[in-house]
Amino acid sequence: MALIFFLSLSLFIGGAVSSSKIKLSYGFGFAGSIGIFLIGCYTLVHPQPKILWAYPLLHNLVLTLSIDHLSAIFLVIAAISWMALALYSIDYSNFYAQKTLPLGFNISLVGMVLILTAQDGFTLMIGWEVMTIFAFLMMMGRDHPFEKAYRFLAFGEISTVFLLVGFSALYFTTGSLSFESMNKGSLFALVMISLGFIVKMDIVPFHGWMRGIYGEIPDNTAALLSAPVTLMGVYGLERIIPLLPNNETWDIILILLGAFSAFWGSLHAAATNKLKLLPAYSTVENNGIILAAIGFYALAGNFLSGNLHYLALFAQAASIVMAISHTFSKTLLFMSIGHAKEAYNVHTIDEARGVWSGVGRIPAFGIVISALSFSAFPPLIGYAGEWMVLETLFQSYRFPSTSLAFFSALAGVFIALAIGIIGFAMVKLIGYTALGYDHGRKSLKIPSRLMHIAELSLELILVLGGIALPFIIILLGFPHLLIGLLGIPAPLVLASGQPVFGVISPTFIGLIMLVLLIIPVILFVKTKKKVRKVNSWNGGVKLEEKEYFSAAAYSQILEHVLRGFYKTREIKDKTYRRIKVEDVLIRPMTALPRLVKKIGERVASVLMNGKISTYVTYILILFITVFIIGMIVM
């Protein structure tokens, strides 16, 4: 296994070295991802922990790479996304031929592998920085916004600072950075390390960097940032939180923060008309749901009673199923949108109409399947994941504390609202792009065989993964959550509580839906030449000959009803009117650079005043400060 592991890393490095030959470079990335996928699958079947590499750096600091059941789960999830992206990028390189893209892609995968196999804080930090810096490098092409890319890097380094402070606190408390020593850690270490992972998940308010940049960066970069990179934050929480001493107050904060992030992300996904900003806000929404599930898992794990212990495990399973759903669905959504966007050379939802007939069935179906998965449409895997999270939160009555039950149920309300609103957003995306009427725009004829293979593979995974979810649950290590009931044999029924609170059989639902789908498909095939078309309803106002019901009009009612959240206002001039909304939680993020710039100018005017005495004093103060810090550390 160690041989395949290091061979995979060598393939990634080979891909980076050969970045001048872009297609070959992505081919190396694809081959390396296959190796990581095989290692993960083997460990899922043989879950005994295996040390891959160990190097004693200091007497109490051993850099260790190993793989166990949890890391194997996330290696498999990440590797499937990497394989799809690498395959997709071979054809996509016809649009973006910058060498920095395959270079950054391959080395960022190396960083993620280090994160998923690290057994100490120092190794994890190395992987974290490698991933962040080389993901940033993918944004730095000739035509990309440098200033906005640096915002991503700034948030990446904020995440690193939190982790650095947290692991430093752990070291000063335990004298070790090994994960095995975390049970002796402090609340401060728990909060700092958790925040480091939360920032990477784009949880509100740490999502401020993404607005204005997702529409500019290449689509494979956007997919990497939104799916595998944020997955590393999810893995970090799943790995670290059970090891550190728990705190109920912090668990509730995580649950409420996740629920509010889900609600806020869904709101702005529903309002935007930007083709790639909608799935970006969907990442905020989905990762918020995952964070709430992880917080609930930690909270319920504090209690020893049988039903709450069962509920804690169910919440953990829900968070992992949601991570699977988000990673695959978001990778597919960005790939399919990117395919349509480049074929049409457009940036808004309204401009991308008619993908089904104008670009192709496979990318259009990719938009439909991924968006329906985010909308919790059965039998797709997103439906099961979101059902599991809601079932978890609405069993908060099992807690002995009224306050714990209240806040958990409140989080469930926010997440239920988020799921409904994101469904509204995804219907807009499907209706105006994949299934929108053909507006006559000619699409570019592009080599897309490998793009189609990558898209079709994830489409099949989302459908079959939803139907075969009980067997995935078994591989994840939660077979005790599965039962048989009312004629449905075990293990095809997923039970959400003990005693039973709610049940679902994804396999049975999927089979019923497939059978029932036969009838409408037959009717459609026989009567498709007799389809009746009607004009869109426009609030009773008749559309003129050249007018159409736009995506902005679709969202207008929601923006008006929820104007308190959106800060909705009308922008008008002599010939044009439009509705504008604002993400008010980004205001502090936009104000911070201006504040730093003013402080920098003021400090510069004081220090750089042309006086030798000022320079000498400045150097002396720095020398004394560094000397004192060095003495303390030694």
pLDDT tens figures, 421-480? 999 999 999 988 888 776 667 777 777 899 999 999 999 999 999 999 999 999 999 999
Choose between 8 and 527: higher pLDDT: 8
Looking at residue 141, what is its pLDDT? 62
Q: Quick one: average pLDDT of 177-196?
A: 89
Looking at residue 633, what is its pLDDT? 46
Choose between 557 and 75: higher pLDDT: 75
CA-closest candidate to residue 259, choices 371, 396, 390: 390
Does residue 67 belong to any structural domain of this protein? no
CA-closest candidate to residue 553, choices 569, 574, 539: 539
Residues with Cβ within 8 Å of 453's Cβ and at least 6 positions away in sequence, in order, are 87
Q: b/e map of 425-457 (b: 16 or more CB within 10 Å)? A: bbbbbbbbbbbbeeeeeebeeeebebbbebbbb
Residues with Cβ within 8 Å of 292's Cβ and at least 6 positions away in sequence, in order, are 254, 255, 256, 258, 259, 262, 389, 393, 411, 415
Does residue 423 belong to any structural domain of this protein? yes
Per DSSP, helices labelled H in 301-401 are 306-344, 355-358, 361-374, 381-393
Give the start-end residues of each E strand in 486-576: 488-495, 503-504, 569-572
Does residue 357 belong to any structural domain of this protein? yes
Question: pLDDT class for 97, splitting at 50, 70, 90?
Answer: confident
Flag whether pLDDT at 634 surpasses 70.
no
Does residue 122 belong to any structural domain of this protein? no
Question: Are residue 560 and residue 613 in the same domain, yes or no?
Answer: no
Mean pLDDT of the chain: 87
530-572 pLDDT, tens per residue?
666 666 666 667 766 666 778 888 888 888 888 888 888 888 7
Looking at residue 137, what is its pLDDT? 87
Q: Which domain does 419 fall in, by range? A: 247-460
> Residue 394 is encoded by which pair of tokens?
């609405």
Q: Quick one: average pLDDT of 592-598?
A: 69
Question: Are residue 598 and residue 626 in the same domain, yes or no?
Answer: yes
Looking at residue 145, what is its pLDDT? 55
Looking at residue 82, what is its pLDDT? 97
Does residue 453 belong to any structural domain of this protein? yes
Does residue 119 belong to any structural domain of this protein? no
Flag whether pLDDT at 232 surpasses 50.
yes
Q: 410 near 397, Cβ under 8 Å?
A: no
How many domains is the chain built from?
3
Question: Are residue 568 and residue 627 in the same domain, yes or no?
Answer: no
Does residue 114 belong to any structural domain of this protein? no
Looking at residue 443, what is its pLDDT? 75
Least confident of 250-254, 296-300, 326-330, 607-611: 607-611
When mean pLDDT is compared over 411-425, 528-542, 577-591, the highest value belongs to 411-425
Question: Are residue 615 and residue 568 in the same domain, yes or no?
Answer: no
Query: What is the rounded CA–CA span in Å between residue 81 and residue 462?
Result: 12
Question: pLDDT class for 143, splitting at 50, 70, 90?
Answer: low
Query: What is the rounded CA–CA span in Å between residue 115 and residue 197?
Result: 12
- Tell me how crowded residue 588 is: count the other CB atoms within 10 A of its CB: 11
CA-closest candidate to residue 556, choices 301, 131, 315, 272: 272
Question: Are residue 417 and residue 560 in the same domain, yes or no?
Answer: no
Looking at residue 607, what is its pLDDT? 66
Specify the pTM.
0.91
Does residue 534 belong to any structural domain of this protein? no
Looking at residue 330, what is its pLDDT? 96
Question: Are residue 330 and residue 300 in the same domain, yes or no?
Answer: yes
Question: Are residue 270 and residue 407 in the same domain, yes or no?
Answer: yes
Question: Are residue 574 and residue 605 in the same domain, yes or no?
Answer: no
Q: 309 near 303, Cβ under 8 Å?
A: yes
